[in-house]
Amino acid sequence: MDKQHVVGVDVGGQTSKIGVVNARGEVLAQTVIRTDTYGDDADAYLKALAAAIKACVADASVEGDVRGIGVGAPNGNYYTGQVAFAPNIAWAANKSVDFAAKLSELLDGIPVSLTNDANAAAVGEMTYGAAKGMSHFIMITLGTGVGSGIVIDGKVVYGHDGLAGELGHTCAVRNNGRQCGCGKTGCLETYCSATGVARTAREWLEASNEPSLLREVETISSKDVYDAAKAGDALARRIFDYTGRMLGRSFADFVAFSSPEAIVLFGGLARAKEYIYEPMLEAMNENLLPLWKGKIKIVFSSLKESDAAILGASALAWEL
């Protein structure tokens, strides 16, 4: 009989979340380890990760019944199994790490499937969440950056090199756009990520004398903008309107590429949906070709936030 459990690992810049998941999408046990305490020693991190996975499997009492390990990581390459040149992870910032092969070896040959975090989220939504039953959709993750996973005919688009799906680095502002960490200017990520929202707030406050609750905040974050919007702050609400409209215009471009049934949103910034949804939908439809107007849905992740990253990564392992 096929093994009935998988492990999902979400590798972040600071922490790595690990969970054991059954076929019903229930997280039976989970744990967290640091990602950022190993310097440039990838082997030390992988040994710690393997030990944590073994302990988590023991906590779930499913030893010997794990089908595979699914991992979502920044710059994770599905084809090669490598994490390569990930700027926010010291042990992979300046080199390629044979992540999947080494982790599998440390786990006595249990197969490991690796992809980037946005692609993992797309697989998770298709397996357990809002995109269940969909064969054509685009996943957009709105966090510190803007990530994306593109699904066509029920399969994630990886491209010839395993690196397709960088819609956050499409150009949203052509002239005098913001500098992006990728080296380009005007990337969607610089405007519509959590850091982009905070940047908009700082720029708008500096450019006007308009009263705002945000003037009382020393170091503005996207959460501060959200809290101010909830409190009725007019400037904060206009920031989200601006952000939503910019997303919607870009979504219209994305639709022209793959004609998805829906665009699925996930991540911290998606919690501001009451302020970004209407301007986002309106701007998307204003910029769509007539054949798509009013036909493309924008939906929000239905996965429990605390489990979503683990579930997304674990969904990869069912394919092993």
> 42-59 and 99-106 helices cross at what angle (nearest 10)?
50
Residue 309 has a pLDDT of: 84
Q: Where are the domains of the chain?
A: 5-124+306-317, 134-301
Residue the block writes with tokens 């059954």: 22
Q: Which two tokens stand for residue 218?
A: 């020393």
Tens digit of each residue's pLDDT (9 = 90 or more) over 165-196 = 999 999 999 999 999 988 899 999 999 999 99
Residues facing 265 on adjacent strands? 140, 300
Return d(Cα 26, Cα 300) in angstroms, integer: 20
* 56: nearest Cα among 45, 69, 43: 69
* C-alpha to C-alpha distances, 112 to 22, 293, 297, nearest whole angstrom: 17, 41, 33
Residues facing 297 on adjacent strands? 262
Residue 1 has a pLDDT of: 55
> 273-287 and 234-258 helices cross at what angle (nearest 10)?
40
Return d(Cα 293, Cα 248) in angstroms, integer: 12
Fold match between domain 5-124+306-317 and domain 134-301: yes
Residue the block writes with tokens 């499913």: 62
Nearest 5°: the CA angle 270, 212, 168 is 30
Give percent helix, percent strand, percent coil of the chain, each to the nearest 5. Answer: 40, 20, 40
β-pair type (15-22, 27-34): antiparallel
Give 134-301's CATH code, choosing from 3.40.630.30, 1.10.340.70, 3.40.50.2300, 3.30.420.40: 3.30.420.40
Return d(Cα 177, Cα 163) in angstroms, integer: 24
Q: Are 296 and 254 in contact (CB under 8 A)?
A: no
Q: In this structure, which amino acid lies at residue 226?
A: Y
Give 5-124+306-317's CATH code, choosing from 3.30.420.40, 1.10.287.1400, 3.40.50.40, 3.40.50.720: 3.30.420.40
Return d(Cα 187, Cα 173) in angstroms, integer: 7
> With the C-alpha atoms ordered 219, 225, 229, 231, is the resulting torsion angle positive or negative?
negative
**Which portions of the chain are predicted below pLDDT 70?**
1, 306
Residue 241 has a pLDDT of: 98
* 57: nearest Cα among 128, 99, 12, 3: 3
Q: Are 10 and 117 in contact (CB under 8 A)?
A: yes
